[in-house]
Amino acid sequence: MKDGKFLTMAFESSCDETAVAVVADGRQVLSNIISSQIDIFKHYGGVVPEIAARHHLENINEVMEKALEQADVTLKDIDLIGVTCGPGLVGALLIGIATAKAVAYATDIPIIGVNHIMGHISADFIQHPDLEPPFAALIVSGGHTNIAAMESYTKCRVMGSTRDDAAGEAYDKVARVLGLGYPGGPKIDKLAKEGDPDAIHFKRIMLEKDSYDFSFSGLKTAVLNYVNTQQQSGKEVNKADVAAGFQQAVVDVIVEKAVSATKSLGYDKLALAGGVAANSALRAALEAACKKNGIRLYVPSPLLCTDNAAMIGCAAYYRYMNERENGDSSDAGLEGLAMDAYAGLPL
């Protein structure tokens, strides 16, 4: 506790960001330090799990020290440790978990595991102090694509998920086809602004009627086929038009499903989260569709969209408080020093 506030220190290491944050009373960010490995993985065209884990190990202590320093606190002030325990790369997750456990063991501070996707949704709690459940959540990241009903601060009911590639994964793969580099999402976002979204039509994969599931791998293959066919017949590929056409196909599907899921729940709030939530076309299209349908849209700042530990601290706080108040320990395996890493942890 400091100045009467409950302090959570949180760790995030599920992919290629080593991050530690200190959060007061669940929603106030005192520090949010992120050490990204993007520059390393640019050379590989994607994340290499073993290398990611090694870099987490090299960086995590320094990142933690910076987080404490910037928050102007010491471990004595910390009331709770939160850590991402899945889903993600197991070797990468384990570094955050081992560090968090070591600190918890040495200091006797309680420790609690957090589902990374719950963390992404919680970024909206940080960004929007007035946001309260229930609301619909749309999580679009490099590893996940979900539509969910956020029924309380800790209860999330999944309505739909991707059946193959995540939205960000499709962006990254299409960017590779176009030779744009890694991570592809921001590059396609930028290039698409110079292209015509109607010049090349890619099919919108809606799946069964009323399904909130997604499928992006067919779209990625369609882009690949288009590029190959053009090249084989000696025609030039207009990369900006391909980027714009692909992006429009992704955005149209996501927007339609997210809005109709929100309406079917009878909610008037939709929270966007995950790395792809930084996409300018998606933000603009969702804003317009939500306005038309009387839905209030909540979007985190770009820094809170991609992986960070402040969002994990927020989710950890609400889980811990819920267990303290309601004795709800349905996810008991995610607590304490016996905690493990779970590559495929469901929401």
Q: Which residues bind Zn ion (CB under 5 A)?
A: 141, 307
Determine how many CB atoms are found less than 10 A away from the CB of residue 140: 29
Cα separation, 134 vs 160, whole angstroms: 17
Does 276 bind ligand KG4 (CB under 6 A)? Our answer is: yes
Does 241 bind ligand KG4 (CB under 6 A)? Our answer is: no
Does 184 bind ligand KG4 (CB under 6 A)? Our answer is: yes
Cα separation, 212 vs 145, whole angstroms: 10
Sign for the CA dihedral angle at 261, 263, 267, 268 comes to positive
Q: Are 138 and 144 in contact (CB under 8 A)?
A: no
Polymer length in residues for the chain? 347
Does 119 bind ligand KG4 (CB under 6 A)? Our answer is: no
Show contacts with ligand KG4 in window 7-46 (CB under 6 A): 15
Q: Are 127 and 305 in contact (CB under 8 A)?
A: no
Does 172 bind ligand KG4 (CB under 6 A)? Our answer is: yes
Does 95 bind ligand KG4 (CB under 6 A)? Our answer is: no
Element (H or E) spanning 24, and its range?
strand 17-24
Does 161 bind ligand KG4 (CB under 6 A)? Our answer is: no
**Residue closer to ligand KG4, measured from CB, 82 or 185:** 185
Residue from 86, 113, 168, 300 that binds ligand KG4 (CB under 6 A)?
168
Alpha helices in the chain (DSSP H): 38-41, 49-71, 90-107, 116-127, 167-177, 184-192, 217-232, 239-265, 280-292, 302-305, 310-326
**Residue closer to ligand KG4, measured from CB, 26 or 168:** 168
Does 186 bind ligand KG4 (CB under 6 A)? Our answer is: yes
CA 314 to chain centre: 14
Cα separation, 107 vs 111, whole angstroms: 11
Q: How far is the CB of 346 from Zn ion (least distance, A)?
A: 15
Q: How far is the CB of 101 from ligand KG4 (least distance, A)?
A: 22
Does 279 bind ligand KG4 (CB under 6 A)? Our answer is: yes
Cα separation, 342 vs 194, whole angstroms: 41
Q: How far is the CB of 282 from ligand KG4 (least distance, A)?
A: 7
Does 245 bind ligand KG4 (CB under 6 A)? Our answer is: no
CB burial string 34-60: b at 16+ within 10 A, e below: bbebeeebeeeeebbeebbbebbbebb
Cα separation, 183 vs 42, whole angstroms: 7
Does 285 bind ligand KG4 (CB under 6 A)? Our answer is: no
What residue 91 binds from Zn ion, ligand KG4, none (CB within 5 to 8 A, per partner kind)?
none
Does 189 bind ligand KG4 (CB under 6 A)? Our answer is: yes
Determine how many CB atoms are found less than 10 A away from the CB of residue 301: 11
Does 171 bind ligand KG4 (CB under 6 A)? Our answer is: yes
Show the site string, 290-309: x = touches ligand KG4 by CB under 6 A, - = not. Answer: ----------------xx--
Show contacts with ligand KG4 in window 128-157 (CB under 6 A): 141-143
Q: How far is the CB of 285 from Zn ion (least distance, A)?
A: 22
Show the site string, 307-326: x = touches ligand KG4 by CB under 6 A, - = not. Answer: x-------------------
Q: How far is the CB of 127 from ligand KG4 (least distance, A)?
A: 15
**Residue closer to ligand KG4, measured from CB, 262 or 279:** 279
Q: Which residues pair with 69 in a beta bridge?
A: none
Does 165 bind ligand KG4 (CB under 6 A)? Our answer is: no
Contact footprint for ligand KG4 (CB under 6 A): 15, 141-143, 168, 171-172, 183-186, 189, 274-276, 278-279, 306-307
